[in-house]
């Protein structure tokens, strides 16, 4: 019986598809490619953009503890640490209800307090620079950047012992060509992003401001530099992005908390639409959807990239199980899609409810909003529960965290 079990296990290992074809070399696709290569898989990473174009994006990401653990597992945390700005306090304002709550390090779960930060802000360029340099140095990765291959060409070139991963963003050509079901709701709000210098800000502090027209986040980059993520009706965001630097700075000064003011803008602002979207299944045959190819949420709370990277983390756990022979290859895609459902549903639902609850002047909701901020202000367990959901995912408080 033992011999038979070993033979079945060995046959499962030798039958493992050894190659991944990943379309999309942004932060999510690149991180997945690196993780798969380090597990011993052959990876082809394709993107229509060149390396220079991939590096040019001007934005910053909020990094939570779930993403910290993934970067540590892949040996990328220490190389990136000097490029990240930690924040140890988080200020949450309901501007219409005129209530404020603060989060601090003691509101983190015990396993996360040793990291000495609630979260980190990481600029796009140093992240992509490190990922691309690591990918070029990896013998298991074949980079095809600046490759404008169509979805049909990629599908036809895929072999029978190969998985294909769509990490090509919310307008994924692979998802569209595969005709996977996809639900999408476009918010009336858009989002404006810009980098700026502020005076009067609290040290080591990030801000989340709930305003009637939409939430605004202020994310510390370095010293007095911040990334602003400002949600408002899309046309208003586009008008603000197109106005002069002085006009935009004046508009920001009108809505910033008392004591904060704009010193100067550091880059060209951008405006884009915001949507809630989800593919009910993240797989079809050998095709897997990862990151925004399979889902997208409102940027409130900085959940977007971290949700995408939890896709990567869960998929890497499953591919390692396949490599070890603990999971049969044909089950990989279904298991991946199934294991991501709770986290995706929790984040998409909670971000949507936050927008509907706080982005209004509804007098019927105002007492409940004041009560919510009062509970956050005075009840430590409510802050810990909220922060755990934000930093580790909605299901994190149901299970122990990795040490």
As a whole number of Å, the end-to-end CA separation of the chain is 37
SS3 readout for 127-151: HHHHHHHHHHHCCCEEEEECCCCCH
Q: How far, in Å, CA of 11 to CA of 190, rounded? A: 52
Written as six digits, the tokens of 226 are 């911040």
pLDDT at 394: 83
Q: What is the mean pLDDT of residues 174-198?
A: 92
Residues 172 and 290 sit within 8 Å (Cβ to Cβ): no
Q: How far, in Å, CA of 135 to CA of 143, rounded? A: 8
Q: For residue 16, is pLDDT > 60?
A: no
Instruction: Write out pLDDT tens, residues 320-362.
Output: 999 999 999 989 999 999 999 999 999 999 999 999 999 888 9
Q: How far, in Å, CA of 71 to CA of 280, rounded? A: 28
pLDDT band at 10 (very low <50, low <70, confident <90, very high): very low
pLDDT band at 277 (very low <50, low <70, confident <90, very high): very high
pLDDT at 15: 44
Burial class (CB in 10 A: 0-12, 13-18, 19+), 139: exposed
Beta strand extents in 70-204 (DSSP E only): 84-87, 89-94, 99-104, 119-123, 141-145, 162-166, 183-199
Q: For residue 28, is pLDDT > 90?
A: yes
φ and ψ at residue 220, rounded to 5 degrees: -70, 130
Q: What is the mean pLDDT of residues 152-159?
A: 59
- Three-state SS at 124: helix
Q: For residue 5, is pLDDT > 80?
A: no
Q: How far, in Å, CA of 153 to CA of 37, rounded? A: 23
Written as six digits, the tokens of 360 are 């209004």
pLDDT band at 153 (very low <50, low <70, confident <90, very high): low
Q: For residue 2, is pLDDT > 70?
A: no
Q: Can you name the residues that pair with 317 across neighbouring β-strands?
A: none
DSSP 197: E
Listed in sequence order, the residues at least 6 apart from 64 whose beta carbon sits closer than 8 Å to its beta carbon are 119, 302, 306, 390, 391, 392
Most confident listed range (6-10, 87-91, 184-188, 263-267): 87-91
Written as six digits, the tokens of 162 are 């190969």
Q: For residue 282, is pLDDT > 90?
A: yes
Q: For residue 383, is pLDDT > 60?
A: yes
pLDDT at 302: 86
Q: How far, in Å, CA of 396 to CA of 29, rounded? A: 24
Instruction: Write out pLDDT tens, residues 142-151.
Output: 999 997 765 5
**Comparing 160-169, 214-223, 262-271, which segment has the lowest mean pLDDT?**
160-169
Residue 198 CA: distances (Å) to CA of 230, 231, 257, 264: 15, 19, 11, 8
Q: For residue 155, is pLDDT > 60?
A: no
Instruction: Write out pLDDT tens, residues 287-305.
Output: 999 999 999 999 988 899 9
User: Whose structure tokens read 């002069």?
Assistant: 244
pLDDT at 158: 60
Q: How far, in Å, CA of 83 to CA of 67, rounded? A: 15
pLDDT at 148: 75
Rounded to two decimals, what is the model's pTM? Answer: 0.90
DSSP 260: -
Q: How far, in Å, CA of 289 to CA of 294, rounded? A: 5
What dihedral angle (degrees, nearest 10) is formed by the CA atoms of 365, 214, 55, 244? -160
Q: What is the mean pLDDT of residues 143-169?
A: 75
């Amino acid at each position: 019986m033992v011999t038979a079990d070993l033979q079945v296990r060995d046959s499962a290992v030798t039958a493992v598809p050894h190659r991944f074809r990943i379309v999309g070399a942004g932060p999510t696709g690149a991180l997945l490619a690196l993780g798969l290569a380090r597990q011993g898989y052959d990876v082809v990473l394709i993107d229509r953009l060149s390396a220079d174009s991939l590096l040019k994006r001007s934005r910053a990401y909020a990094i939570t503890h779930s993403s910290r653990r993934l970067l540590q597992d892949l040996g990328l945390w220490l190389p990136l640490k000097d490029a990240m700005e930690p924040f140890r306090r988080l200020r949450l304002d309901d501007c219409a209800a005129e209530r404020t709550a603060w989060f601090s390090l003691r509101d983190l779960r015990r396993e996360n307090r040793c990291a000495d930060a609630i979260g980190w802000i990481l600029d796009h360029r140093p992240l992509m620079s490190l990922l691309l340099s690591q990918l070029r140095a990896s013998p298991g990765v074949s980079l095809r950047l600046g490759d404008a291959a169509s979805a049909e060409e990629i599908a036809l070139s895929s072999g029978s012992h190969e998985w294909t991963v769509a990490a090509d963003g919310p307008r994924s050509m692979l998802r569209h060509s595969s005709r996977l079901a996809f639900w999408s709701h476009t918010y009336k709000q858009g989002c404006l992003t810009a980098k700026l210098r502020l005076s009067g800000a609290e040290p080591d502090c990030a801000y989340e401001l709930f305003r009637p027209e939409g939430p605004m986040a202020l994310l510390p980059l370095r010293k007095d530099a911040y990334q602003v993520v400002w949600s408002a009706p899309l046309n208003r965001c586009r008008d603000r992005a197109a106005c002069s630097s002085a006009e935009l700075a004046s508009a920001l000064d009108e809505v910033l908390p008392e004591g904060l003011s704009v010193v100067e803008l550091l880059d060209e602002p951008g405006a884009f639409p915001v949507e809630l979207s989800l593919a009910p299944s993240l797989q079809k045959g050998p095709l897997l959807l990862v990151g925004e190819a399979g889902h997208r949420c409102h940027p409130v709370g900085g959940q977007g990239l971290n949700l995408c990277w939890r896709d990567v983390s869960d998929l890497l756990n499953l591919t390692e199980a396949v490599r070890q022979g603990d999971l049969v290859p044909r089950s990989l895609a279904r298991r991946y899609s199934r294991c991501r459902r709770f986290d995706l549903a929790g984040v998409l639902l909670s971000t949507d409810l936050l927008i509907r609850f706080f982005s209004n002047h509804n007098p019927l909701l105002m007492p409940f909003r004041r009560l919510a901020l009062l509970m956050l202000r005075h009840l430590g367990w409510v802050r810990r529960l909220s922060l755990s959901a934000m930093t580790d995912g909605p299901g994190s408080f149901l299970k122990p965290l990795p040490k």
